[in-house]
Chains A and B, each alone.
Chain A
Amino acid sequence: MIELLSPAGDMERLKFALLYGADAVYLGGRVFGLRANATNFSLEELKEATEYAHNLNKKVYVTVNIVFHNEDLEGLVDYLKFLSDIKVDAIIVSDPVVLNVLKENDLDLEVHLSTQASCLNSRAVKFYMDHGIKRIVLAREASKEDIIRIKKETNAELECFIQGAMCTSFSGRCVLSNYATNRDSNRGGCSQVCRWTFDTEDNRQFEMMPKDLNMVHYIKDMIDIGVNSFKIEGRMRSIYYIATVLHTYRQIISKISTNSLTDEYIDYALNIINRVANRESTPQFFDKLPGVNEQYFNGRKEESNQDFLGLVLNSENNEITLEVRNYFKKGDTVQIFGPTMDTIEFTITDIIDEDGNRLDFCNHPKMIVKIKVPKICEQFSMMRAKVFDKYDEI
């Protein structure tokens, strides 16, 4: 089975990820994870998240992927016991200290090797498999040729990133943040120094920030190689980003399974993903060594947009109840997409607020309005500005 694996920065994101097609989510507790400044999950929330996912027959992986200092070892055993007790499906680990703790305490937790360990060859995979690791999250630097060889030589369960931000360095092999800001990159404090602008000695501006990763063009290749899990980066991303990206990749995987993926759909998917990410994206290392076109110079052109217009709370009699997120007005052409519905496109004719007043526009986030739609929509579908024509099946 091909697994689509989504980030979940908090409970709301987790629910949207699972609703929009994720087979599993990865998330962090309040300790031992590499997103120390995200909301993350309390112990109680970890338990709730795991139960919620399991009730949907979906999986939860918890990041325990910091590089440990002596002081961080305190509390690790209790935390791992807790994760074992609540039956999370796996933990994601980079520092082998966790393997020793599991062994010494006879804890039954499936372990996935984090991409932070930068695993790039079959021999390293074998080393880690010998130590009980069930799944390897490969280095983002692995090429198609590398992944084929690793799969062939080990038949290991492999997880690869398909979407999201990239480090400039090999993951884990960078402490620029420590040296520039005293914030520890390998304990979740990365200050993203590789995204800064620097001066050279001859007063030019030097930048090294990579564009994002996207593998829209190569999902079929990855399925053919035998990659088991397709991972999306972005635990701090919005529900709209998560829903859009998951929805798009789920469609691609589905079309591959029915042999109906077209170049037109790939182009459409790329437009949608690049738009929601606010950054350009490329396949990075899969098909070549990234060059001048895989990174930014002269400042990143981040085109923040307000495409996400609202969340559909309810839909009855061709009318939706919408929680507004961004400005829109009567006469705008919009689209609604949802977990399983076909995307619909229409022009807004009527906007009615909670008191029954007709409005010309909406400009208050979180206000509740009713809008006529051409067909019934799914609860928690999302209304977005029409930027691209919707894709019609040919």
Chain B
Amino acid sequence: MMKKDKILLNISNLEDIDFYQKLGISNFLFPLEGFSVGYSSFSLEDISATNTQGYLLVNRLLTDNDIDQFLKLQIPKNIKGIIVEDVGLFYVLKDSSLELINFQNHLNNSYETVNFWTEYYDSLVLSTDITIDEITEILDRTKKPLIINTFGYPMIMYSRRKLLSNFSKHLGDKEKKTLNIKNSDLIKFQLKENEYGTAIFDDHLLDIRFVTQDLDDTKIKFYLFNSEFLTRETMEKAICNEIVTNTTDGFLHKKTIYRIGDIK
């Protein structure tokens, strides 16, 4: 059974914190307003006011001006670390006392890559796009405990373009900040836009809780649960090891191919 103190919960509503704490969750991930895309985000003042221990999520790619703005922020004491996408932000924070966790989603796919980054970072979030065998081998060889995307809708694309604003403008409609699209009954995506770009999420709910139970727990820092788009009820089931229906185990048992000749 997954230990609840190893769940890192990406929070989508600060008012839910109390609810989740009562379920045993003690580690929260707060997407930082102005520095994240795709997720409901919060100001440092509001995060500080929760008085809850947690990590900031900074999943934008940043310009120098963005980093300058970040460096003006006063990081509250309840923040233990930052899960960070941009290597430049890591570079300026590397000597700080904050834990720094690499979040180059989709790029952290091999044990050598993981070992490169964890020479510098305190930990790393593994890609959502690898098989269970690959995860197992990476955990066998990692020098530091890692974070595994375990439950939630995976973000699978990040554009600097404001795709929904452009779409609305093209149609002459009122601007939308979210949109569901599909190409077929199997290929469905959820889009979310803010000032810094557009994120696309897969519309299939990833749930690998029951597989991760077989992994070496000592090599896992956190199991990442993402509550974006999900209700408290669904999250409660996930946290309490209950069955959630209509889920997928992603690429755990489905290796990707890349040469057309390999398509069967």
> Which A residues lie at the B interface, using CB under 8 A?
36-37, 67-70, 72-73, 94-97, 99-101, 117-128, 139, 141-143, 145-146, 149-150, 153, 168-170, 172-176, 178-180, 182-184, 186-189, 193-194, 196-201, 204, 206, 208, 210, 285, 289-292, 294-295, 297
Q: How far is the CA of A94 from the CA of B116 in the complex (A)?
A: 13
Q: Which A residues are CB-close (under 8 A) to B183?
A: 180, 193, 196-199
Q: A183-B258, A206-B181 are in contact. Are A173 and B91 (CB under 8 A)?
A: no
CA distance A97 to B116 in the complex (A): 7
B86 → chain A closest CB, angstroms: 7
Say yes or no: B113 contacts A95, CB within 8 Å: yes
A59 to chain B, nearest CB (A): 27
| Least CB separation from A174: chain B residue | B157
C-alpha spacing A94/B64, complex, angstroms: 21
Enumerate chain B interface residues (CB-CB to A < 8 A).
61-67, 86-92, 105-107, 109-113, 115-117, 128-130, 134, 137-138, 156-163, 165-167, 169-171, 179-183, 187, 189, 200, 202, 251, 254, 256-260, 263
Q: Report yes or no: A120 in contact with B62, Cβ–Cβ below 8 A.
A: yes
Do B91 and A170 have beta carbons less than 8 Å apart?
no
B157–A204 CB distance below 8 A: no
Which of A125, A145, A179, A198 is within 8 Å of B182, CB to CB?
A198
- Complex CA–CA separation, A293 to B88 (angstroms): 31
Chain B residues lying within 8 Å of A178, measured Cβ to Cβ, are 129, 156, 251, 256
Contact B156 A96 (CB under 8 A): no
Partner of B110, one of A36, A70, A292: A70
CB distance from B206 to the nearest CB of A (A): 11
Find out whether the CB atom of B258 lies under 8 angstroms from the CB atom of A292: no
Residues of chain A lying within 8 A (CB to CB) of residue B167: 206, 208, 297
Please indicate the chain A residues that have their CB under 8 angstroms from the CB of B161 in the complex: 168, 208, 210, 289-290, 294-295
Closest chain-A Cβ to B171's Cβ sits at a distance in Å of 7
Bound complex: CA of A388 vs CA of B48, how far in Å? 63
- By a CB distance below 8 angstroms, the chain B residues around A183 are 256-258, 263
15 of the cross-chain contacts (CB-CB < 8 Å) are: A68-B109, A97-B116, A100-B112, A126-B88, A139-B61, A141-B160, A145-B65, A168-B157, A175-B106, A179-B187, A180-B183, A182-B256, A186-B107, A199-B182, A204-B171
Q: Select A170's contact among B66, B130, B159, B182, beta carbons within 8 Å.
A: B159
Give the residue name and chain of the A residue nearest to B131 (CB).
A69
B160 lies within 8 A of A170 (CB): yes
Q: How far is the CA of A120 from the CA of B179 in the complex (A)?
A: 28
CB distance from A281 to the nearest CB of B (A): 16
A138 to chain B, nearest CB (A): 11
A146 closest partner in B (C-beta): B63
Considering the chains assembled together, what is the distance between the CA atoms of A100 and B251 in angstroms?
Answer: 27
Is A172's CB under 8 angstroms from B106's CB?
Answer: yes
What's the least CB distance linking B219 to chain A, in Å? Answer: 15
* Cβ of B218 to closest chain A Cβ, rounded Å: 20
Q: Are B258 and A36 in contact (CB under 8 A)?
A: yes
Contact B61 A141 (CB under 8 A): yes
Interface centre among A178, A189, A199 (most CB of B within 10 A): A178
List, in ascending order, chain A residues with CB within 8 A of B258's CB: 36, 183-184, 187-189
Which residues of B have CB within 8 Å of A175? Answer: 106, 128-129, 156-157
**Residue pair B64, A96 in contact (C-beta under 8 Å):** no
Task: Note all chain B residues with C-beta closer than 8 A to A186.
Answer: 106-107, 109
A95 proximity list for chain B (CB < 8 A): 107, 110, 113
Are the CB atoms of A295 and B156 closer together than 8 Å?
no
A96 and B159 contacting across the interface, CB-CB below 8 Å: no
Besides the known contacts A120-B62, A292-B170, 16 further A-B residue pairs in the complex with CB atoms under 8 A apart: A68-B109, A69-B130, A119-B87, A120-B86, A121-B67, A123-B92, A139-B61, A173-B106, A176-B200, A183-B256, A184-B129, A189-B260, A198-B183, A208-B163, A285-B160, A297-B170
Set of chain B residues within 8 Å of A118, measured between Cβ atoms: 61
**Smallest Cβ-Cβ distance to A95: which chain B residue:** B113
A175 to B200, CA, bound (A): 10
Tell whether, in the assembled complex, residue A120 and residue B158 are in contact, meaning their CB atoms are under 8 Å apart. no
Nearest chain-B residue to A206 (Cβ)?
B181
Complex Cα gap A390–B242 (Å): 72
Q: In the assembled complex, which residues on chain B have CB atoms less than 8 Å from the CB atom of A122?
A: 64, 88
